[in-house]
Amino acid sequence: MLNLDLLNTRAGQDIYQVGFSEGEIKGEARGEIKRQRTILVHLLKKCFGKLSNPVQSKIKKAELAQLEQWTLNVLDAKTIE
């Protein structure tokens, strides 16, 4: 009889582990971006008050490196622009 249950084979376990690890890395990256967005939004609101829709949209579309840079820039910013 042919064993089609891949998790019971070494190759199947290896494939599963690679997929699990890749998913874990992607999840952690998404969590880091979300955390950085939250920090930035809190700082901006504290310094400048309510955020406009265009500012919120820009923050939602930004990558991690940009969010980190903006967070650092808040410390010296006179305006939100």
CA-based nearest residue to 58, from 31, 32, 40, 76: 40
pLDDT tens column, 47-67? 999 999 999 999 999 999 999
- Residues with Cβ within 8 Å of residue 67, at least 6 apart in sequence: 33, 36, 37, 40, 59
**What local confidence, expressed as pLDDT, does residue 22 receive?**
77
Of residues 62 and 13, more confidently modeled: 62
Q: Reduced to 3 states, what is the DSSP secondary structure of residue 4?
A: coil
Contact between residue 51 and residue 41 where contact means Cβ atoms under 8 Å apart: yes
Domain chopping of the chain, boundaries: 30-81
pLDDT tens column, 18-58? 777 777 777 787 889 999 999 999 999 999 999 999 999 99
Of residues 10 and 35, more confidently modeled: 35
The whole-angstrom distance between residue 30's C-alpha and the CA centroid of its chain comes to 3
